[in-house]
Amino acid sequence: MQRKQETIWWLRKRDELLKVAGRHLNAYVYDLESIENAARDILSMRSVSRVLYAMKANFNADVLRTLARSGADFDCVSPGEVRHLREVLPDNAKDRILFTPNFAPRDEYEWGIKEGLRVTLDNLYPLKAWPELFDGQRLFIRIDPNQGGGHHEHVVTVGKRSKFGVSLSELDELKYLVGAAGATVIGIHAHSGSGINEPDNWAAVADALIEAADRFADVTVLDLGGGFGVPENRGDVRFDLSALDERLMAFKKQHPKYELWLEPGRYLVAVAGVLLAHVTQLKGKSEMRYVGVSTGMNSLIRPALYGAYHEIVNLTRISDEATETVTVVGPICESGDKLGTDRPFPRSQENDVILIANAGAYGRVMSSSYNLRDIPPEITL
Ligand SMILES: Cc1ncc(COP(=O)(O)O)c(C=O)c1O
C-alpha cells in the first residue's frame, strides 16, 4: 500500500511547469497522477470500506473527476459544494455523498433531506428546535471524541474550545432527542483535527466513538474523519498508512459489526498542487533580504493564517546553491504577506519562476481577490 519514496513530481515535471509559467504570471498547477497515487494508497486499506474526499480542500473539476474515477466518495459541507459536485459529476450517485453542514440554517438541513442526501448533525440543536425535519430520517451524528490534535489551534476540532460535534457527555440527551424526533442513527462521525501524523489517533477516535455507536442499534458505520498529515519538507516520510491499517484492522476484529470510513482532504491533494509565481523585486533591509513574488496571501493564505510551512524553490535556478537567507513576500499591502520566512535561497533575479510546494489543499479554495488582485488560474497536468 505504501509506495517507496519517489522523486518529487515537480522536480520530474520541471520543464512542463516552466512552460506553464511562461504562459501565466501566477498559476496553481495540479498533478493528477499524484492524486491518483494518493487515492490508490488510501483506498487499498483493508480496514476501510469507504473513503470520502473532503472536497473543501480543493474543488477543482479535474481533481474531483480524478478522485471519483479512483473510487472516492465525497464529503460536502454546504449546498454549494453539493451543487458544484453535481455539475462536475452529473452521474455521481447520491449515496456517494455525505452532507456535513455545521451551524447551518434550518433550510439547509431541509434541503439536504429533500435531496435525499445522507445528512450529518453535529449539534443537538437541530433535533431540539426542528424535530419535525428528522421524522423518519436515517442520520449520521458527529461526535466530539475529545481525542485529536492538529498542526495549528485553528484546525483542532475537538474539545470544549472547538465548535464541532456532540459531546460524549450529551449521549443520553442525544438518544432521547433522536427517539422523540422519530429518526434513526445509522452512522457515527468524527473529525479530530488536521495535519495529524500519528496513526494511533484514528484508532483512539474509533475507540471513543464506540461509546456513542453502541447506544444506537442501527449504527453500521463509524466515519473516523480526515486529518492525515503530509510531508512538508523534501525527504520527510509519508503518513504511515500501513500502521494505520493495522491499528484499524485490530479495532475491526474487536468490533466486526461496524464499517469504517475515512474522510481525507489534504492527504489526497496537498502534495499534488504547487503555486507558481515570478520574482518581481528584490530588497535588502538591514540584515534582511526580501524576494518579492507576483502573488501572495491573496492566493495562499495558509502561512499567514496558520503559520503553515510551504517549501519554496527558485524553479529557474533549481540547481544553484543556496547562498543567502531570504523572506519571500507577495504584493499585498499587509506585513503578514509572507509566503516563507528566513529560507535558504539561491541568488535570484527578476522574472525567475518561484514554486511554492504542497499547495494543492486549502490553497486556491481559500484564495481571494484581496487588494483586487487576480486569483491564479488552475492548470492540471
Ligand atoms: C468534517 C471534516 N472532514 C474531513 C476534513 C478533512 O480534513 P483534512 O483535509 O485535514 O484531511 C475536514 C477538514 O476540515 C472536516 O471538517
pLDDT digits (tens, 9 = 90+) for 291-322: 999 999 999 999 999 999 999 999 999 999 99
Q: Report the separation in Å between the CA atom of 263 and the middle of ligand 1, taken as the mean of its atom positions.
A: 7
Atom of ligand 1 at shortest range from CA of 157: 16
pLDDT at 52 (0 to 100): 98
Atom of ligand 1 at shortest range from CA of 226: 11
- The pLDDT > 70 percentage for the chain reads 95
Domain boundaries, the chain: 33-269, 273-380
- Cβ 302 under 6 angstroms from ligand 1: no
- Cβ 226 under 6 angstroms from ligand 1: yes
Closest Cα to atom 2 of ligand 1: 191
Pocket test for ligand 1, best of 41, 154, 191 (most atoms within 8 A of CB): 191
Q: What is the CATH code of the structural domain delimited by 33-269?
A: 3.20.20.10
- Cβ 264 under 6 angstroms from ligand 1: yes
- Cβ 229 under 6 angstroms from ligand 1: no
* Residues of the chain predicted below pLDDT 70: 1-6, 147-158
Q: Which three cell numbers stand for residue 64?
A: 474531483
- Cβ 266 under 6 angstroms from ligand 1: yes
> Is there a contact between 290 and 312 (Cβ–Cβ < 8 Å)?
no
Interatomic CA distance for residues 173 and 15, integer angstroms: 60
- Cβ 194 under 6 angstroms from ligand 1: yes
- Cβ 75 under 6 angstroms from ligand 1: yes
Q: Report the separation in Å between the CA atom of 56 and the middle of ligand 1, taken as the mean of its atom positions.
A: 8
Q: Report the separation in Å between the CA atom of 264 and the middle of ligand 1, taken as the mean of its atom positions.
A: 6
Active site annotation includes 76: no
pLDDT at 152 (0 to 100): 65
pTM, full prediction = 0.94
Number of H helices, E strands in the chain: 12, 17
pLDDT at 212 (0 to 100): 95
Q: Which alpha helices (H) appear in the chain, and where do they start and end?
A: 9-12, 14-23, 32-43, 61-70, 79-88, 106-114, 125-129, 171-181, 200-213, 241-254, 266-269, 302-306
pLDDT at 151 (0 to 100): 65
DSSP 140-153: EEEEE-S----SSG
Q: Do domains 33-269 and 273-380 have the same CATH topology?
A: no
Q: What is the CATH code of the structural domain delimited by 273-380?
A: 2.40.37.10
pLDDT at 6 (0 to 100): 64
Residue 6 CA to its chain's centroid (Å): 22
Q: Report the separation in Å between the CA atom of 190 and the middle of ligand 1, taken as the mean of its atom positions.
A: 10
Q: Which three cell numbers stand for residue 172?
A: 443520553
Atom of ligand 1 at shortest range from CA of 196: 10
Q: Report the separation in Å between the CA atom of 194 and the middle of ligand 1, taken as the mean of its atom positions.
A: 7
Active-site residue, from 333, 335, 369, 372:
333
